[in-house]
Amino acid sequence: MKTERRRMVQALLAAFAGAGFALAAAPAWAQAKDVRVAMIAPMSGPWARQGELMKKGADMAIDEINKGGGIKALGGAKLSLLVIDAGDTAEKAKNAAQRLVAQETDVVGATGAWLSSFTLAVTEVTERAELPVLTLSYSDQITARGFKYVFQTSPTAGAQAQGALPALLELAKASTGKPAKTVAIIMDNTASPVSFVKPMREGGLEKLGLKLVVDEIFTPPLPDATSVVQKVRNTRPDILLLLPTSIPDDKLVLEKMTEMGLGRGRIPVISNGAHIGAPDLLNVMGKHLLEGVMTIVANWGAKGQEQLIADFKKRTGEPWMTQDSISTYGDMWIFKDALEKAGAPDRKKVAAAIRAMDTTTGPAKYFPGGRLKFEDNGRRAGAGLLVVQWQNGEPVTVYPPASAVAKPIWPKQAPG
């Protein structure tokens, strides 16, 4: 009896040992229920609304990915999102990134951080951790530091300025019959607008035959717009480049312009960035104050994306799909594609897969230009831009023609 019992115990031990060997030999992801990516963005403070819109885009993509079978190369592992609040300062954003890389070591990639100043701070941390980061932020400096784990899906601010301004000037001439000659700038001192105007100040405006008649820079938030708008009123520029980065500052300037008789198309207003097309601006200002205002963006709902936009509106209750939502939606599909190619939830392999991408299908269809390939410095090759204009209470894509859902309208100045 003892001998038989001993044999049974030995058989059980052998079975457990075999099972233990099999578990040890299996890749780590085989036991994981999901693969985590992070979104580090402002979820509190003056830019919290943009963070909310980013999250809505990410959540929608992740739900679609998981309902479609998850990451097939990882046995159907589900994708999950870890949301990290970047707060309202670059220092808080940097601290949040430090907590992310120290405490969430299984995260394979991240998207963020919306404001370029935040992204610059965050990526100093994530680069050292070799964590791949996809960003829609505009600053040229983000991908000018020799980093290997930062991927910029948007055209840089400098590229946007160089590409969009000539097109806008052609539009102005075609609409008014005469070339624009003077321009005013009202901007905050965050990284994106600084990058946007840099090539203009360094000869770009002069090359286009434009004279800079107002050049106002402020530290957000803007306490009062009276003095800066008064300068615009005194000079009556042909174009006003309005370049704050927060909705409250946009609202303050646009309301003051209307109060001083400059609103509603008396002076054409061109912005840069998605915040100027946020639904919240319509809620606090009304469509008549926004009519004709244009903004240069890296992404927006456009021709060919009607079903995606309809699904997003139904799911979220949002009236349209902004750059913040559609770019972050696309980022999740980039991570999905990279994980399929990497074959493991390993951040270095995921980064390598992103670097090797060159496609006009899959996630590429969610970005203007229709191609997904990153240059050695991390910038997306051939990244296109869009011009969006407020028309009848909705910001719609009006340029380039291939993406446009409406024709552009150049506001005609009323006599002073």
| Residue environment code for 156-167, b if the CB has 16+ CB neighbours within 10 A, otherwise e | bbbbbbbebbee
List pLDDT tens digits, range 71-105: 999 999 999 999 999 999 999 999 999 999 999 99
Query: Is beta strand 182-188 parallel, antiparallel or unpaired with respect to 150-152?
Result: unpaired
Report the chain's mean pLDDT, rounded to a whole number.
90
For residue 14, the model assigns a pLDDT of 47
pTM, two decimal places: 0.85
For residue 142, the model assigns a pLDDT of 97
Instruction: Write out the E strands in 256-367.
Output: 269-272, 294-297, 358-359
Q: Among candidates 348, 365, 404, which has minimal Cα distance to 61?
A: 365
pLDDT confidence band for 166 (50 / 70 / 90): confident
For residue 5, pLDDT over 80 is answered with: no
Establish how many alpha carbons lie within 13 A of residue 68's alpha carbon, considering only the half-sphere containing its beta carbon: 11
Query: Is beta strand 372-373 parallel, antiparallel or unpaired with respect to 358-359?
Result: antiparallel
List pLDDT tens digits, range 349-362: 999 999 999 999 99
The answer to whether residues 114 and 48 touch, using CB atoms and an 8 Å cutoff, is no
CATH code of 32-155+304-373, in short, is: 3.40.50.2300
Query: Is beta strand 372-373 parallel, antiparallel or unpaired with respect to 269-272?
Result: unpaired
End-to-end CA distance of the chain: 110
Q: Is 22 exposed, middle or buried (0-12, 13-18, 19+ CB in 10 A)?
A: exposed
Average pLDDT over residues 21-36: 57
Establish how many alpha carbons lie within 13 A of residue 141's alpha carbon, considering only the half-sphere containing its beta carbon: 17
For residue 46, pLDDT over 90 is answered with: no
Q: Give the whole-angstrom CA distance, residue 34 versus residue 31.
A: 9
For residue 22, pLDDT over 50 is answered with: no
Neighbouring CB atoms inside 10 A of 250's CB total: 27
For residue 285, pLDDT over 70 is answered with: yes
Task: Specify the CATH architecture of the domain 158-297+386-399.
Answer: 3-Layer(aba) Sandwich (3.40)
| Residue environment code for 378-400, b if the CB has 16+ CB neighbours within 10 A, otherwise e | bbbeebbbbbbbbbeebbbbbbb
Average pLDDT over residues 298-316: 96
Which residue spans of the chain are classified as CATH 3.40.50.2300?
32-155+304-373, 158-297+386-399
List pLDDT tens digits, range 174-211: 778 888 999 999 999 998 899 889 999 999 999 999 99
332 Cβ neighbours under 8 A, 6+ residues apart: 37, 57, 58, 61, 62, 65, 79, 81, 111
pLDDT confidence band for 20 (50 / 70 / 90): very low
pLDDT confidence band for 7 (50 / 70 / 90): low
Amino acid, single-letter form, for residue 164 = A
**Region of residue 219 (left: phi > 0; alpha: psi -120 to 50; beta: else):** beta
Establish how many alpha carbons lie within 13 A of residue 21's alpha carbon, considering only the half-sphere containing its beta carbon: 6
List pLDDT tens digits, range 328-383: 999 999 999 999 999 999 999 999 999 999 999 999 999 999 999 999 999 999 99
**Coil, strand, or helix at residue 7?**
helix
Which stretch of DSSP H or E encloses residue 183? Answer: strand 182-188
Average pLDDT over residues 290-315: 95
For residue 403, the model assigns a pLDDT of 93
